[in-house]
Structure 1
Amino acid sequence: MNSFFWISYAILWILVVPLVILNLVLFRQLGIMVMGTARGVNQSGIPVGNKMPRATTTTLQGAEWSTGELIGTPSLMLFGSPTCKECAEILPDFQRIAMMNNVKPILLLFASADLALDYVRKIAYDDEVLIVSSEFANHLDVQVTPYAYAVDANGTIRHKGLVNSREQLEAYAKASRVS
């Protein structure tokens, strides 16, 4: 009886540890999907109220682009990926919402130039597209997609975090107009 107890005790612990990990993952997903937020992810990124740091990357056409170009125009920066399902769902509304709110839409893709070009053609996106390198993403502290920064005309971040819906895009666009 004693050995049976210890064997069953060990088996139970072997089952409990993965279940606890699975529950933590599910609670995070529930927070993202139902409440539209994931505190751990939204705490990453440049803090709201700070100026957007200087960083450079390239446009889809290969020209150099700097975050300094954000000064003077309220902007909505959306980080996405051609393989991101959520990105594909909100991209059709991205340009339209930015235009309706008089902010500049900037799409930043985690992809090679060729893959990004194919993706942009496929979705018929015709505004500015930037290629995100790992160095650029690290400098702006972006680790997931779809992630957005609402930047006002002074280059100050007014809102940041995951964007999973049209309503969130609208809130970000409105936040970028506040100075």
Structure 2
Amino acid sequence: MNTFFWISYIVLWLLVVPLVLLNLVLFRQLGIMVMGTARGVNQSGIPVGRKLPDAVTTDLQGSSWSTSGLAGTAAILLFGSPTCKECAQIIPDFTRIAKKHHVKPVLLLFSSAEHAASYISTIGYEDEAVLVTSELARQLDVQVTPYAYAVDGSGVIRHKGLVNSREQLEAYVKATIAS
């Protein structure tokens, strides 16, 4: 009886540990799916239909950059991080799709200037890139990456939320020019 107990105890723990890890992975995926739905998107970020607020930060060279500089231009703002694997996978599509539809791509990085410059160089990104400070993240209500705002020429947010695929990027860019 004692041997049976210990064997079953060990087997159960060998089953429980992988199940816990699998649940953590599934919860992450569920979070991504919920954030990609209207319900999840409405719970975070600036609401669609509102103007993008004036917010100021710096570019990678230390010069001032402001969201008000986007006035009159349809733009897609992609928030990323050098440590975000999904961001690195969609940035080439981000640039290509934005340019194809004549929408200005702006990459906003949660990073230090040095780390961001190294990252930009490594991935070969050549368009506008700026740094996200905690103040800018608070003003634009962004907490996760890769997160995007599609802004039309009048500065109104037309689409927002997590962006994990080329198809989602296409939808965001098209939303800026459909208005």
Q: Which residue of 1 aligns with 2:98?
A: 98
The alpha carbon displacement at 1:30 in A equals 3.1
Alignment of 1:64 onto 2:64:
yes
* Superimposed CA distance per residue, residues 53-96 of structure 1 (whole angstroms, 9 cap, x where no aligned partner): 11100011111011101110100000000000110110111100
Identity percentage over the alignment?
Answer: 69
Gaps of 5+ in 2: 1-18
Aligned residue pairs: how many? 159
Report what 1:117 is aligned to: 117
Query: What are the residue-to-residue correspondences of 1:1-150 with 2, within 5 Å?
Result: 26-27=26-27, 29-30=29-30, 32=32, 37=36, 39-40=39-40, 43-150=43-150
TM-score by length of 2: 0.82
Q: CA deviation at 1:178?
A: 2.5
Q: Is the 8 A contact 1:42 1:162 kept in 2?
A: no
Amino acid across the alignment from 1:115: H
Matched with 1:4 is none
Higher alpha-carbon deviation: 35-44 or 134-143: 35-44
Give the deviation of 1:177 after TM superposition.
1.1
What are the ranges of 5 or more consecutive residues in structure 1 without an aligned counterpart? 1-18
CA distance in 1, matches of 2:85, 2:122: 14
1:6-40 deviation per Cα after TM superposition (whole angstroms, max 9, x unaligned): xxxxxxxxxxxxx99x859734523625x882543
Contact 1:36 1:164 in 2 (8 A): no
The residue number in structure 2 matching 1:14 is none
- Counterpart contact for 2:108–2:129, Cα < 8 Å: yes
Q: CA 1:66 to 1:85, structure 2 compared with 1: closer, same or farther past 3 Å?
A: same
d(CA) in 2 for partners of 1:164, 1:100:
19
Report if aligned partners of 1:78, 1:106 keep a CA contact under 8 Å in 2: yes
Q: Which runs of 4+ in 1 moved over 3 A?
A: 22-25, 38-42
- Matches of 1:64 and 1:95 in 2, distance apart? 22
Q: TM-score, normalised by structure 1?
A: 0.82
RMSD over equivalenced CA pairs, Å = 2.2
